[in-house]
Amino acid sequence: MIAWKNLDTLSSFHKLEEDEKVNLAAAMAGESGAQRVKSYSVPMGAGMDFNFGARAVDDAILSDLAAFAKEAQLTEKFAALYNGEVINTGEKRRVLHHLCRGQLGEDVIADGVNKRAFYLGEQEKIAAFANKVHSGEIANAVGEKFTTVCQIGIGGSDLGPRAIYLALENWAKVNNTLKMKAAFISNVDPDDAAGVLSNLDLAHSLFILVSKSGTTLETLTNESFVKDALVKAGLNPSKHMIAVTSETSPLAKSSDYLTAFFMDDYIGGRYSSSSGVGGAVLSLAFGPEVFAQFLEGAAEADKLAANEELLKNPAMLDALIGVYERNVLGYPSTAVLPYSQALSRFPAHLQQLDMESNGKSVNRFGEPVHYATGPVIFGEPGTNGQHSFYQLLHQGTDIIPLQFVGFRSSQMDTDVVIQGSTSQQKLCANVAAQIVAFACGKDDENLNKKFQGGRPSSIIIGEKLTPAAVGALLAHFENKVMFQGFAWNLNSFDQEGVQLGKVLAKKVLAHDTDGALKVYSDLLNI
């Protein structure tokens, strides 16, 4: 039987608090450091590895983390989730995004429907539609092919799919799978929509409206913006738009759209990239086969996440080291640092994934917790990030754990040799150097030039950023966030903190305000 307990009630957590802390600078020096890097590495799917040699743990701490995983029943809770138990206690819902990419356990029957079959069915419908668009069977009013797809969404309907599209755009170009260019409209700021639309050939553009409820104010506002632009261009919006929505929404059977694809309440927005939310835009952009490769990579990572052995479960390992850093070592933030420009929006997606999921101060039963939970997540691709905020990471007053991502080979296989090395080698040299510099530091009599070291990091290493690698990378972090939520006894699948601002915004627009809210409204001329 599963017991949902707060972190500070677990004896294994208190054992971790008593463990001797690792002197990371000493541990990473010389031969000791070499052995750590070689041995502290775990396969994580799609040919990638999670290397945690530069994290502030040792064999004793790892053993106690394994004991914690067992006492907290982390893999049992994951099994309960993928077998369809109601894990989202706030909204009394199942959590089923894993079923979009594979079935790890039992059939999940909800509302009389086999959910794996439902998700597969929608994927097949999307694939058939995408193939017809690519062949020209579905075309614009004068029979010309659509060349661009533009997604209209907000939050999880934008951040994840956009990050994945950008991650694979160059790969698709060199592999001849870029079927359509993709664009995204997400901000209710009219300058965003106008700017995107000004760069589109509207006559050859297909728009995807993503709204589960069909009533999301920001998304419907942007839809109206797009429809107005289409009408002004002499085009019929209903021939240029599809919807991704729920079967019960007002969009589901509307004549305003060429067709509709369905999602349900069991997949939250920030977890929806592997559902129709990501499936429609990515299948149209790259082809259904590429989206299938992405799902296969995610499924491989999910299988590893079900392993009870900590050192064979990279997502759980990453999660628990993070819990140790947050709750024992007291580190307040985590930086995600991909050394691939293709992953430029991946940190932004992880910000929502992590901070919307675990930015909670009450447990899954609505009771206050008395320990730190989700850290602040931020990041930027290297090497630009090195000039943006690495000064603080190296010599700032707070220690911030770092999660690097790097690949041995470039996506486009276009490079130059300068001073005996390629650009890709220089990129990889930078990330290798940073890991050691952060861990080991540098002594100097001039304190301005002294680096204390002891700054922990891990790195996910792959050969090349492929669709399968992107899928495995996404699933790794989704599962990491899930395991941390279990460890902190949180509900990682609701987001009440997002709703309050939306409610107040509606009051402002209705001029139902007083006090400070009215003054701010007046200052902004609303």
**pLDDT value of residue 361:** 97
Q: Is the pLDDT of residue 227 over 90?
A: yes
Q: Is the pLDDT of residue 135 over 90?
A: yes
> What is the bridge-based pairing of β-strands 333-339 and 376-379?
parallel
pLDDT tens per residue, range 317-376: 999 999 999 999 999 999 999 999 999 999 999 999 999 999 999 999 999 999 999 999
**pLDDT value of residue 498:** 79
**pLDDT value of residue 156:** 93
User: Per-residue pLDDT averaged across 182-211, rounded?
Assistant: 96
> Percent of the chain scored above 90 by pLDDT?
95
Query: Which of helix, strand or coil describes residue 481?
Result: helix
Q: Is the pLDDT of residue 134 over 80?
A: yes
**pLDDT value of residue 335:** 98
14 is catalytic: no
Provide the pLDDT confidence category of residue 89 given band limits of 50, 70 and 90. Answer: very high
- Distance, CA of 355 to chain centre: 11
Q: Is the pLDDT of residue 278 over 90?
A: yes
pLDDT tens per residue, range 291-331: 999 999 999 999 999 999 999 999 999 999 999 999 999 99
Identify the CA nearest to 42 among candidates 432, 319, 333. Answer: 319
Query: Which of helix, strand or coil describes residue 209?
Result: strand
**pLDDT value of residue 505:** 87
169 is catalytic: no
**pLDDT value of residue 239:** 97
Q: Is the pLDDT of residue 499 over 80?
A: no
**pLDDT value of residue 232:** 97
> DSSP readout, 105-165?
SS--EETTEEHHHHHHHHHHHHHHHHHHHHHTSS--TTSPPP-EEEEE--GGGTHHHHHHH
The strand pairing partners of 149, in sequence order, are: 182, 206
387 is catalytic: yes
User: Per-residue pLDDT averaged across 204-214, rounded?
Assistant: 95
Tokens found for residue 497: 């903190």
Provide the pLDDT confidence category of residue 216 given band limits of 50, 70 and 90. Answer: confident
Catalytically annotated residue among 38, 387, 442, 506: 387
Catalytically annotated residue among 218, 223, 325, 356: 356
User: Per-residue pLDDT averaged across 60-79, rounded?
Assistant: 98
pLDDT tens per residue, range 500-522: 888 888 899 899 999 999 999 99
Catalytically annotated residue among 132, 173, 426, 502: 502
For the full predicted model, state whether its pTM sits above 0.85.
yes
Provide the pLDDT confidence category of residue 497 given band limits of 50, 70 and 90. Answer: confident
pLDDT tens per residue, range 142-174: 999 999 999 999 999 999 999 999 999 999 999
**pLDDT value of residue 306:** 98
DSSP state for residue 249 in the 8-state scheme: S
Longest CA–CA separation in the chain, Å? 74
Identify the CA nearest to 93 among candidates 244, 268, 247, 271. Answer: 268
Q: How far apart are CA 21 and CA 260, in angstroms?
A: 55
The strand pairing partners of 337, in sequence order, are: 404
Mean pLDDT across the chain = 96
Q: Domains in the chain and their CATH numbers? A: 7-96+294-495 (3.40.50.10490), 126-293 (3.40.50.10490), 496-526 (no CATH)
> Percent of the chain scored above 70 by pLDDT?
100
**pLDDT value of residue 10:** 98
